[in-house]
Structure 1
Amino acid sequence: MTGKSLQIGLGDFDARLRIYVANPPPIPEIIALHTIQPLVAGQVQAIGQQCGNGWRKVFNVYSKLVFALPPTFPIVRDEYHRWQDWRDNCLLQSGSCCALLFSPPDLTRLTDNEGRPVIHIIAGRQHARALIDDNQLHSQLVWLNGELALDAAQHLLVCPYLDYRQLNNEKIAKVSALLTPLLS
């Protein structure tokens, strides 16, 4: 976006990793959000149970991606050695440094309140193209292949949707490698 935009979604308001998806979980309280709402322990599991396997996959892949990032990304690795434990106890909570957003990216936000880089990821090529077509994304994306695009100046990456089949472990490693230089 060229101007300040309202961010809507789940997670840490000052998130350093912001993943944008086209639609929120089909829960009235989440659909009605007008800001970023942190989750509390147990809510990731509750949303997965209420909304089905697709949302469980989103949370699992998000957590696996965070765990694939370099140790400079602050995810309390000393306390959580497995992505599953981190997902269940930290993902999208206040202080997690992560957000799952349902609004267009605010690319004016390149650093957090402490001056550390903020990374923006659009999950899904179709979602990115819809944002461009709707004039909600102004970026100089360079398509690296049919699934990945990067605008390093805006800390923006387009990757496959957060699903095991689309963003498997090999692709998660590739995404992590692309993000690593942006995190420093």
Structure 2
Amino acid sequence: MSSARRPDWATLPNAVTLVRLVLLVPVCVLLAGGPDTVAVVLLLLWASTDWVDGVLARALNQTSRTGEIIDPIADRLGLAAIVLTLTLTGLLPWLALVVIVLSDVAVALLASRAALGRRISVSALGKVRTFVLMAAVLLLAAAAAWVPGLLPAVQALLWAGVAMHVVASADYVLRARRAPRAAPAGEGPPSPR
């Protein structure tokens, strides 16, 4: 089927993003029982789908408006759920969870309209922030499962990710406030995927 006839949502990258959302439940259930090898491997698989969907979208020329919307939702929802789970297990302080969730709520309330209207796009800082946070939660689970002595170092990395999250969130809100009210027809920032 040619891409001209394919519905916007019917892409391999979007399927990978949906797999990320589906994997979230077993990842959180396993982590809630205390990180072990199976939980860490499944968490690694979950985190890798964020990279895989972007690579596939570019390699197969299957970027889509649906992907632009569901990919960041899968990232934010997934990170919040995993950080909540790790907080409930005692591996993270509640403050980290509160800061992440409040930042996400602020972006949803103050910048989502601009993002959906393609007046702002994913920033380099946002991408680095997501990578650091995903790496930190993966390393936190791995350290808890295999090398508990590394937990303080990994928690420091997580706090660096939380700080980047706040800065990236503020950047999105500021850019949304400065963005023109409507992009000209057919134009907009390049797809983040």
Query: TM-score, normalised on structure 2?
Result: 0.29
Larger-gyration structure (1/2): 2
Greater strand share, structure number: 1
Greater helix share, structure number: 2
